[in-house]
Amino acid sequence: MNNTIHPSIDSLSAFVDNELPPGDIADIRAHVDGCPGCRDQVQAFSSLGEMARGLDEPLPGEAYWKDLPDRILARIAGAVVPRPVPEPQPSLWHRLWNPSGGWRLALGSAASLCLVAALWFVVHQTGTPWSPAAPEMAEQVATPVADDGSLYTPVDDAGRPQPTMNPNSYSKRVIMSLGGRDNLGTPLDILPGRAAGSGSGYSTIGSQVTNTLPPLSPDAAAVTNGVISYGCGENPIESAYLAALKAEESGNYHLASQGYRLVRASLPIGSNLRHEAEYRLMYLAWSERMQSTWTQRAKAIDELNQLASRSFQTWQQSQLDRDCTKAWCMNRVLLSLGPEVASPANLQQTSSRVQQLKDCAQE
Amino acid sequence: MERRLSGTSGEDLKGARDAALVARSKAGDTEAFGELVRRYQKQVFRIVLRMVKSPDDADDITQDTFVRAHRGLGTFKDEFDFHPWLFRIAYNQAINFINKRKRQAAADIDEVPERDMKTGPEPESPVQSASRHELLGRLAAALERLPEEQRTVFLLRVQEGLSYEEIAETMDTPKGTVMSRLARARMALRKYMDVPSS
């Protein structure tokens, strides 16, 4: 090393830690010997380390350390007790009740009607069209259609009208545009319209709709005030979730996705209700993806299975709650959509993953 | 030389390498895993305590860390060292806890009467106990001003003596990032404390 050129601060710090290659250490030592400024820096770094070593936290006494392994092993022994499989679908009460957040549930037919109206009000603030009622999604999923390149068929086997949901439809655009604001990242990896390698992370159509859609305000307070001013009491976010559920049940997926999105934007990460909203959004996205031929549906399921498996492995490695939530959502979607095309062994594996993820995702 | 592990005596376990204990734990030997707990419990506890600042919470998280590690042994690759993997679980558990506490605090703000917020006792940081000694007190205060990542990197290095590679594994971050975070932490500490060079 040229002795007139000062090493970087990173290098001096690594020099103190003896974490540089031998050649670099010799060079820096030679420089430091002849450079008062760098020598001062190295000495200051060293003295900081010495001081910090004297700054130990007060630890429990020996009895604690003697006892701790036994307590841990006892927990491990208890943890291997198998849990019932498959996972029962949680009740609506459980899905809405979040003990940590203290959510209160407003039920009752009058209230429910009010909630639907409230969500309608919120959605209309963003200019979303209200679609006519359509058959239930389960029927759509089970209906093979011609492989004409379109994702959806306008009429089902019984000749009933289907919602118009092609890639340019509002529902599709809404779902694709969700990703831009999702700090959890859950649906992004699986959404149609997302193309790896492009600058923005979205395909052309994805970028177009993201740019042209009026964004739903992520400001929970504004949304909440809007719902409250419409006349509904209790918790307006729960109201929105219930309304979205009703919209999904009646086939109004446009509205449902808006409602779930509203819930997700309004609640903190970790809320059970937010998890449920994410799960429903992913379910909607994948259901849309499967509205085509059996071959394409099998391919979609295969892809989802890989993603679900990978997300589970990611969680196993990281043990982070956010990875758990993502994996939990993904595997639950697979469990919901898979029975038509997935093998029983595969479903059993997925069910096992959901069981393992259940606790940390709902913590 | 590593001892043979034909028996299950405490001496055998104490002399065994981590890799051997991990292999036996994977095969269902809880005594072997107990030895791993005894070997790393203090380090795990210290890492967690520095982050969550509460011995009770550190106790819970330390237990969770080992339980999760045991549950995840099947995914642990034998060619890697055990303790950085364990520390990463501990670190991530502590991060989860801190994030939850922040969310809870944010949720509680609306519900706590203003007088309680003003008169409630301040949670005492463990490092505050070092203020008996002026210099250590200043260092403790300076450490508190560091961003979480920088503080953790610094303490993992100087107190736990982990290598850059091990810190990178623990925090799931590139080795170069560890190097730069350490340098920034040291510069910031020096600035906050105005450390004399000699």
B163 touches chain A (CB under 8 A): yes
| Nearest Cα to Cα of residue A176 among A188, A164, A184 | A188
In chain A, what's the furthest Cα-to-Cα distance?
A: 89
pLDDT value of position A283: 79
pLDDT in tens, A96-123: 333 333 332 333 333 333 444 444 444 4
Mean pLDDT of A26-34: 89
pLDDT band for B107, please (50, 70, 90 cuts): low
How far off is chain A from B52, nearest CA to CA, in Å?
Answer: 12
Q: Do B29 and B103 reside in the same domain of the chain?
A: yes
Residue B178 located in a structural domain:
yes
Q: Do B134 and B186 reside in the same domain of the chain?
A: yes
A164 or A309, which is more confident: A309
Distance (Å, rounded) from C-alpha A290 to C-alpha A112? 31
Mean pLDDT of A215-234: 40
Residue B122 located in a structural domain:
no
Tokens of B110: 């609306």
pLDDT band for B99, please (50, 70, 90 cuts): confident
**CATH code of the domain covering residue B38:** 1.10.1740.10
Q: Do B160 and B99 reside in the same domain of the chain?
A: no
Q: Do B45 and B137 reside in the same domain of the chain?
A: no
For residue A163, pLDDT beyond 90: no
Residue B63 located in a structural domain:
yes
Q: Do B113 and B34 reside in the same domain of the chain?
A: yes
Q: What is the 3-state secondary structure (H, E, C) of B44-66?
A: HHHHHHHHHCCHHHHHHHHHHHH
Q: Do B13 and B38 reside in the same domain of the chain?
A: yes
Domain end, chosen from B117, B137, B162, is at: B117
How far off is chain A from B96, nearest CA to CA, in Å?
Answer: 6
Dihedral angle at the C-alpha atoms of B19, B23, B24, B27, nearest 10 degrees?
170
Residue B105 located in a structural domain:
yes
Q: Does pTM surpass 0.80?
A: no
Residue B141 located in a structural domain:
yes
R_g over Cα of chain B: 20
List of chain A residues whose C-beta atoms are within 8 Å of the C-beta of residue B103: 268-270
Domain end, chosen from B63, B96, B117, is at: B117
For residue A48, pLDDT beyond 80: yes
ipTM over 0.85 threshold: no
Residue B123 located in a structural domain:
no
pLDDT value of position A291: 65
A333 or A217, which is more confident: A333
Q: Phi then psi for B123, rounded to 5 degrees?
A: -65, 130
Domain end, chosen from B117, B137, B158, is at: B117
pLDDT value of position B38: 94
**CATH code of the domain covering residue B169:** 1.10.10.10
Interface of B with A in 43-82 (CB under 8 A): 45-46, 49-50, 55, 59, 62-63, 66-68, 70-72, 75
A49 to chain B: closest CA residue = B158
Q: Do B15 and B107 reside in the same domain of the chain?
A: yes
B43 or A185, which is more confident: B43
Q: Do B29 and B90 reside in the same domain of the chain?
A: yes
Q: Do B84 and B32 reside in the same domain of the chain?
A: yes
Distance (Å, rounded) from C-alpha B156 to C-alpha B137? 19
Q: Do A17 and B67 touch (CB under 8 A)?
A: no
Cβ–Cβ under 8 Å, residues B8 and B21 = no
How far off is chain A from B116, nearest CA to CA, in Å?
Answer: 20
Q: Do A19 and B183 touch (CB under 8 A)?
A: no
pLDDT value of position B184: 92
Residue B198 located in a structural domain:
no
Q: Do B104 and B147 reside in the same domain of the chain?
A: no
List of chain B residues whose C-beta atoms are within 8 Å of the C-beta of residue A362: none
| Structural domain harbouring B99 | 1-117
Q: Give the one of A45, A49, A320 whose C-beta lies nearest to B92's C-beta.
A: A320
A3 or A343, which is more confident: A343
Q: How many domains does chain B have?
A: 2
- Which residue of B110, B182, B190 is the best one to mutate when testing the A interface, meaning the one whose CB has the most A CBs within 10 A? B182
Most confident of A97-101, A183-187, B1-5, B155-159: B155-159
Q: Give the one of B92, B143, B179 whose C-beta lies nearest to A14's C-beta.
A: B179
Residue B13 located in a structural domain:
yes
For residue B74, pLDDT beyond 80: yes
Mean pLDDT of B149-162: 88
Share of chain A above pLDDT 90, in %: 2
pLDDT in tens, A298-350: 677 777 788 888 889 888 888 888 788 888 888 887 777 766 556 777 778 88
Mean pLDDT of A3-13: 85
A3 or A313, which is more confident: A313
B187 touches chain A (CB under 8 A): yes
For residue B37, pLDDT beyond 90: yes
Q: Do B74 and B143 reside in the same domain of the chain?
A: no
A243 or B82, which is more confident: B82
Q: Do B79 and B148 reside in the same domain of the chain?
A: no
Sequence-ordered alpha helix ranges (H) in chain A: 9-16, 22-34, 36-53, 62-79, 92-96, 109-125, 137-141, 170-178, 204-212, 220-229, 236-249, 253-266, 272-289, 294-318, 321-337, 344-361
The H or E element that residue B168 is part of is helix B164-171
pLDDT value of position B140: 80
For residue B152, pLDDT beyond 80: yes
Q: What is the DSSP letter of B194?
A: T
- Which residue of B26, B35, B37 is the best one to mutate when testing the A interface, meaning the one whose CB has the most A CBs within 10 A? B37
Q: Give the one of B66, B100, B140 whose C-beta lies nearest to A270's C-beta.
A: B100
The lowest-confidence range among A180-184, A262-266, B181-185 is A180-184
B128 touches chain A (CB under 8 A): no
